[in-house]
Structure 1
Amino acid sequence: MTNFLTKVVVASSLLLSTAAQAHFQLVFTPQVIFERTSDVPLKLLFWHPFENGHVMDMVTPQSFYAVHKGKKIDLMNSLKPMRFKGSSNEGDGFDASIKLKRNGDYILVVEPTPYFEGSEDMFIQQITKSYLNKGGVPSGWEEPVGLVAEIIPLNKPTNVIAGSTFTGRVLSEGKPVAGAEIEVEYLAATPDMDTNSPTSTTATPPAGGTIVALSDANGYFTFGIPKAGFWGFAALGVGPATEYEGKALSQDAVIWIKAHDID
C-alpha cells in the first residue's frame, strides 16, 4: 500500500507541474511504413512537442534497441550526440539509425537515464516505444516486450485512422494498472531530420491544460484520434521504481503511434 501511495503522489505532482506543458520522450522518424530494405534515420529527444516548447537535455540512455519477431537488436552503437534547436531553446539529443532488412514490425525502445526536473526536485524516466513496419506484414506489434512499465497497443500503431480510436493497456511489471493517469500528446511540429529543428506548427493545444485519460480496472484506456500525425501517450508513475539518487522518481510508460487520413 505504501508503494502504491507513493506512485500516486509522484504521478499527481507531475500532472500538476505539466498542466500547460507535458514532458515527452520521443523516438522519431517521419516515415513508419516501408516496402523495401531501408536505412532509417532516428532522433531521440526529450521535448514539449504539442507546444513546440522547451527542449530538455538528454544524456546517454540506459538502453536503446529494437525488437523484431522477439529478437532484440541493440542500437546503442548508432547513437550520435546532437543539439536540437527548439522554438525557445536548444537541448541535447541523439541521432541514431536502424536498418530494416526483414519484413515485419520493429518496436523501438528507449530506456532513458532519468532526467532531473529541478522545478519539482524529482526525476523523470519515460520508457518509450515507437513502431516501424516493413512489407506490411504484422509480426508482434500487439505483444509486450517485457519492460517494467509499458503500454500495449490494441490497434496497429503504424496505421491508426484519423477519426477512429486508439486503445492501449497499461502494464507495470507485466500486470495491468487500474486508474493510471495517461497524458495525451500530439506532435504538432515534427523534427526536421536535416536541420535538427522543428518544422512548422500544425496544431495548437486545446484549452484546459494537458489532455488526460484514465485506465479502467483492467488497465485499458481508449482515446479518439481527431487528427492525422503522431500521437503520444504517457502513463505517469506506473513503473515500480519511485526513487533515483535519493530523489523521487516518476517512472512512466510512453507509446507513440502514427495516424493517417483516408483520402
Structure 2
Amino acid sequence: MKLRNGLSAAIGVAALLAPLAAAAHFQLVYTPEVNLTKAGDVPVKLIFWHPFENGHVMDMDEPLEFYAINRGKKIDLKNTLKQIKFEGAENAATAYNASVPIKRSGDYVLVAVPAPYYEESEDIYIQQIAKSYLNLNEVPTDWMEPQGLATEIIPLNKPTNIVAGSTFTGRVMADGKPVPGVEIEVEYMAAEPSMEEDKPKDPTASPMPGGALVAVSDDDGYFTFGVPKAGFWGFAALGSGNTKEHEGKELSQDAVLWVRAYDVK
C-alpha cells in the first residue's frame, strides 16, 4: 500500500526508505533533451507509469489541461495531443504524444493536469498534476515562478541542470499556500521512454531495497533531497491538494515535479 496519509510536520525535512509493497505511480511529462540550443517543435510524451523499474503502465484519459508557460504567457498544447499505446515491460496502456513549439529564448514550464485515475487496488482516485521544464539558450525566465495550480512543487534549484551529488530543494504548495508534513515520493527515471517506438529503453538502474524513497515537507512546505545520480528525478507530493474527493471516493491530488541532473565532467 502506498503512503497517502499525512505524517507529522515535526519530522521536518527527512529522507527515508519506506517499506512499501507497491511501486510509485508517476505522471511523466517527458522529453529527452531539456536544454535546447535552437527553436522548433519539441516532441513530448505523457505517460502514467512506474519508470524506476519499468513497471505497470496506467491508462490515461485525455488530460483536462496541457500547456506551457514561457515568459509568463500560457501556450495551450491540447491540440497537439495524439493518443498512443505505450508498451511497458508488463503491459500496454493509453498514453499521449504531443509537441511544444519552442520559439523564444527562456524557460518553458510544461504543465499536465490529468483526469483523475481510479486505482482499484486502493479504491481511490489519483490525480497527479505534473510539471517539467525545457530551456532555450540558457536564458532563465520562469523556472522559479509558481504556476497557480491546485497543488504544485516550486523548485528552489534550477530544474534543468541539477548537479549530481548536490541537493535539490522544493516547496510544496496548494492553492498558493505551503503544505507542511506531506510525504514526497522520489523516483528515478531508470527506464526512459523511446521517442520513436512508444516503449521504454532498457533500465539503467535497479529499484532501491526497502520500497519507495520518501521525503517529508517541513512546517513551511520545504523539502531537500540529495541527488545521487545523473538523469531525470521525479518528486510526487502525495495528497497535497485541497480537493479530497472525486465521484464519491477519496482523491489523492498529488503535485509532481521532474528535474534533470548531470554529472560534472
TM norm. shorter chain > 0.5: yes
Give SS of 1:250's match: strand
Match status 1:251 vs 2:253:
yes
The secondary structure found in structure 1 opposite 2:142 is coil
TM-score, normalised to structure 2's length? Answer: 0.93
- Give the aligned residue type for 2:223: F
- Cα RMSD after superposing both structures: 1.7
Give per-residue Cα distances to partners, 1:144-183, cap 9 Å, x unaligned: 0000100000000000011110000000111011111000
Q: Which has the higher helix share?
A: 1
Amino acid corresponding to residue 63 of structure 1 in structure 2: E
The 5-angstrom pairing of residues 18-97 of structure 1 reads 19-97=21-99
2:4 maps to what in 1?
11
User: Does the CA contact (< 8 Å) of 2:111 and 2:130 recur in 1?
Assistant: yes
Distance in 2, matches of 1:42 and 1:19, equals: 31
Share of identical aligned residues, percent? 60
CA shift, 1:134, in A, is: 0.3
Residues 6-35 of structure 1 show CA distances to partners (whole Å, capped at 9, x for unaligned) of xxx98229xx99643000000000000111
User: Is the contact made by 1:10 and 1:248 (CA closer than 8 Å) also made in structure 2?
Assistant: no
For the 8 Å contact 1:189–1:201, the answer to whether it is kept is yes
Amino acid at match of 1:127: I
- CA distance 1:10–1:228, change in 2 (3 Å): closer
Unaligned stretches of 5+ in structure 1? 1-8
Q: How far apart, in 2, do the equivalents of 1:38 and 1:220 lie?
A: 35
Match of 2:185 among 183, 186, 189: 183
Deviation digits for residues 27-80 of structure 1 (CA, Å, limit 9, x no counterpart): 000000111112100000000111110000001011000011111000000000
What is the SS of the residue equivalent to 2:207? coil
**Matched residue type, 1:116:** Y
Distance 1:143 1:30 in 2: 23
How far apart, CA to CA, are the structure 2 residues paired with 1:70 and 1:10? 35
Matched AA of 1:176: P
Alignment partners' CA distance in 2, 1:19 and 1:164? 29
Which residue does 2:157 correspond to in 1?
A: 155
SS in 2 for 1:77: helix
Q: Which residue of 1 aligns with 2:214?
A: 212
One-letter code of the match for 2:95? G
2:233 maps to 231
Q: 1:3: which partner in 2?
A: none
Please state if 1:128 is matched with 2:121. Answer: no
Task: Name the amino acid aligned to 1:30.
Answer: P
Distance (whole Å) between structure 2 residues aligned to residue 76 and residue 18 of structure 1: 35
Structure 1: which amino acid aligns with 2:98?
Answer: A
- Which secondary structure does the structure 1 equivalent of 2:5 belong to? helix
- Cα deviation 1:232-256 (Å, max 9, x = unaligned): 0000001011111111100000000
Separation in 1, partners of 2:39, 2:21: 42
State the secondary structure of the residue aligned to 1:230. strand
Is the CA contact (8 Å cut-off) linking 1:158 and 1:258 kept in structure 2? yes
Moved over 3 A (4+): 16-20
Within 5 A, what are the aligned runs for 1:85-124? 85-124=87-126
Contact 1:237 1:251 in 2 (8 A): yes
- Which residue pairs with 2:143 in the alignment? 141
Q: Normalising to structure 1: TM-score of the pair?
A: 0.94
